[in-house]
Structure 1
Amino acid sequence: MDHYIRDINNAVSVKKTFISTPQARSDSSDIEDKMREAHENWLKKNPNGQWIDIVSYSDFYFDRFRKIKTGNISLRNHLVYILREGTKVINFTILDISDTTSNTNKSNSKIVYFGWLPDQASDKSAIFRSSNINFV
C-alpha cells in the first residue's frame, strides 16, 4: 500500500474505480484513513491536475467522500461518476506520473494498480502494479 500512496503523490492525474456490492466488506479504518489522506493531499497540491473516480452508488456515500477536507481549494479537478448498480469488477487505478528529475526532459509515464475485488477489503486482495505501456 505504501508504493501505491507514493505513486499517487507523484501523479499528475488519477483515474480510479471503486465499485463494490452492497455486501462488500470495508477496508480497515487505518487503510481508509491513509487513502483519504492521499486523496486530500493530491487535490491540494494539484490544482491543474485531474482526479476521476468511478464509484458505485453505495461507495459514493461511504465516509471517504464525506471526510475529504480540502480547505479553500476548488474541487473542479475532481470528477466523480456514480454507477446506479454495483457490479463484479476488478477495481483499478491508472496514474499519469510526471518525471520531474530532469529539468530538460520532463516525461510522463503511466502506472496501473489493479486487483481490488468488490467483496474483499483491499488489505485482503492481491494488488498488482504494472507500468507496461501495452497493459496500461
Structure 2
Amino acid sequence: MNATRLTSHVSRGLLVTLALAGLTACGGGGRPASDLAASQVTTIGVNSYLWRAALEAVSFAPLLQADSAGGVIVTDWYANPDNPGERIKLTVSILDQDLRADAVRVAASRQVSQGGTWVDAPVQAATVQKLESIILTKARDLRRQAVS
C-alpha cells in the first residue's frame, strides 16, 4: 500500500473512531469518551493517536510496511540529501491501545558508506528516544484536538 493510500485509509479509520466516540459517550468510568473510542474501537487495532503520530514522524522516509492491525511501521533506508554518506532505517511499534508513554517503541539501524559499500554503524540512544518523544508529543496534541 503506498503512502497516499495508507494515509487516506488511516484518516478514514480516524473519522470512524471519532464518530463512534459520540456513541460511547454514555459509559467510561471517568475516562473521556474520545479516549475510550481511540482505545477500544478496533478499526486499526492500536491507539489511533499514536498510529497517526508515528506515521507523521517517519513520513520523511519511504515506507516498506505499515501494519495498522499489528501496529508496526517499517521504513526503507533513507539518506539525508545533506549527508548522502549515511542512511537510516526505522521500525516503529505501537504496543497498546491506550495512549501511554510505554506504548511506542522505535528501533533504528544506521549505515555509513565506506569505499562504496554500506557498513553498519551505531545509533545513539538519544536519537531513538527523541523520535519516541516526538511521536508521543504529537499523539497527545492529536488527542487534545479531538477532545476539544
**Same fold per TM (> 0.5)?**
no
Larger relative contact order (C-alpha < 8 A, sep ≥ 6)? 1
The structure with the largest helix share of the pair is 2
The structure with the largest strand share of the pair is 1
Bigger Rg over Cα: 2
